[in-house]
Amino acid sequence: MKKIMNQPENIIDEMLKGIAKANKDVIYCEGKGVIARREKSDKVGIISGGGSGHEPAHAGYVGKGMLDAAVCGNVFSSPDPERILEGIRQADSGKGVLMIIKNYSGDYMNFTMALDIAELEDRKANYVIVKDDVAVEDSTFSTGRRGIAGTVFVHKIAGAKAQAGASLTEVKETAEKAVQYIRSMGVALSSCIIPAVGKPGFVLNENEMEIGMGIHGEPGVGKSELKTSTEIAEILVSRILEDFEKSTSMEEAEVALMINGLGATPLMELYVLNNDVQEYLENKKIKVYKTFVGNYMTALEMSGCSVTLLKLDDELKECLDAPCNAPNFKV
């Protein structure tokens, strides 16, 4: 294992200190695992978080017009309720806090426990759950769909709505609409190494890829021989569109597109995939309103990518276009 680090047990604390030193607009709540905006605003607060290892998610999205605080757990591990409670406190201006939770059992349990404690402190809080990964069937009997890169669009939409002065109820309603209009799916070409473990979590042969792999190395829909970029685009986007059609028409729809790298995929390859995805969407008469290409929600040094589509209406367009100064999201 080759990594630029000191002791594995200190890597999250040292990373968060480094983030704060690179961005004068945020503070690091040492010992709490929280990155928060330095400037407090008289509006609804927006927080998110989860396990580390997905950088720039979530601390890279703390800024005016996006998140007010990000709560960081250990690598691929949910932060505990005390850390999340600190995030709520940092984001709370008295107008309430909306928590954006990815659909993992640990995140849901710990964030909702923190919400209960916050309410005992007379703080108003609510939440939305992002479950954009169409590789996994949604279910009332299990956690169901995972929250992956589409979560970043929810950060932006909710952050813009709150910055515009909306109430907690209004911000939640708009964030929920974004959740309903987002679909993602990914493919992995290699595994990653958790610093404290020191070995890959799974193995793919040179000519293999895993379709629908989760951002923590969870299984996808199956292994396949390595495909071309054109074939990958068709596999991922066709599955996304099929899922959209279960609840909303995509005929002549307008979308925001995110081509997200998982940590070790060169931008060259992401732009090749973007070209193929856009050609596929054009053939389906779906208009791409705005495109985002880069590393938005990674899995350490995993090689691979995901594709996210956000179906837009006028309100979601306005929120997507609104200015923000989060260091890792540019509009």
User: Which one of 216, 273, 311, 324 is the catalytic residue?
Assistant: 216
> Token digits for 165?
């002065």
Distance CA 150, CA 236 (A): 14
Catalytic residue (choose from 43, 54, 83, 145):
54
Residues contacting 330, CB < 8 A, separation 6+: none
Angle of helix 168-180 relative to helix 314-321, nearest 10 degrees, comes to 100
**Active-site residue, 216 included:** yes
Which residues are catalytic, by number?
A: 54, 216
